[in-house]
Amino acid sequence: MAIVAQSSKYRQISRTLLAWIVGLLFFFPIFWLVLTSFKTDADAVKPEFLFFFTPTLENYTNMTDNYDYWRFATNSVITSVFATIFALAVGIPCAYSMAFNPTRATKDVLMWMLSTKMLPAAAVLYPMTFLTKSLGLFDTHFMVILVLCLINLPIVIWMLFTYFKEIPKEIIEAGQMDGVNTWGEIKEILIPLAWGGIASTALLCFIFCWNEAYWTVRLTTTDAATLSKLIEGNRAPEGLFFGRLSAVSAAAVGPIIVLGWFCQKQLVQGLSFGAVK
């Protein structure tokens, strides 16, 4: 018994140590990013200044004074929030219909929507750019919101469909027998029961929209430019300004990290929604 208990103790210690190692590996890039943001551009590229350097706020002050960080951040908030709202507004009724009123084509439609994520974005870059400029929508919030909503809509529908399928159909049928219309079923029955799944879907959609760089960089210049555009702008023909680039990147990922930290309970509940209890 003593040998078994000792073996179990070593196994637990090993697992804890492994978890810490994996956690540190994931955290190290963020730590290095923040550390570099307090260095000058000259110190950031010198190996001898890995940890021994004089911290400076020059990169952050330069970011707010010369690069108008708050305008880019505001654009990121506007586009991410509205793209998430529109994706949920379309995705919830769509997933509801597929989950509780399926047809023989439901699985084919779901697979088709998922297949759109396999299309290389570069393949439609020129048509999208030409179309947006022709319609006068280039560098507008409307176009960025529309694109972000459409590219994340398949994932939103798939996640919501999975959550809704775990809700007993009899509950919806009971509501129908009581005379509840379709909108009432969604509002009064479905959303309260699947709130954890909807919240986690919204959070992931918001993160995807916030982190989207390919389209936000190529479909904007100044008016609707997001933080991805600001990060992309910290380079010059002579190279990258690592200090300023790190400061802008840290300021861009900071809000998402804070949001994920405070919403981790809802995220875990949503991702485990429908799991075997």
**Percent of the chain beyond pLDDT 70?**
89
Residue with more model confidence, 249 or 3: 249
Q: What is the pLDDT of residue 276?
A: 42
Q: What is the pLDDT of residue 277?
A: 42
Task: Give pLDDT tens digits for 142-152.
Answer: 999 999 999 99
Mean pLDDT of 30-57: 77
d(CA 60, CA 243): 9
d(CA 105, CA 112): 10
Q: What is the pLDDT of residue 210?
A: 92
- Token pair 């798939």 in the structure block, residue: 158
pLDDT band at 271 (very low <50, low <70, confident <90, very high): low
C-beta pairs of 31-36 under 8 Å, 24+ apart in sequence: 33/246, 33/249, 33/250, 33/253, 34/246, 34/250, 36/242, 36/243, 36/246
Q: Is the pLDDT of residue 5 over 70?
A: no
Task: Give pLDDT tens digits for 103-134.
Answer: 888 888 889 888 888 888 888 888 888 888 88
Q: What is the pLDDT of residue 181?
A: 81
d(CA 82, CA 141): 10
Q: What is the pTM of this model?
A: 0.83
Mean pLDDT of 209-230: 89
Q: Is the pLDDT of residue 25 over 60?
A: yes
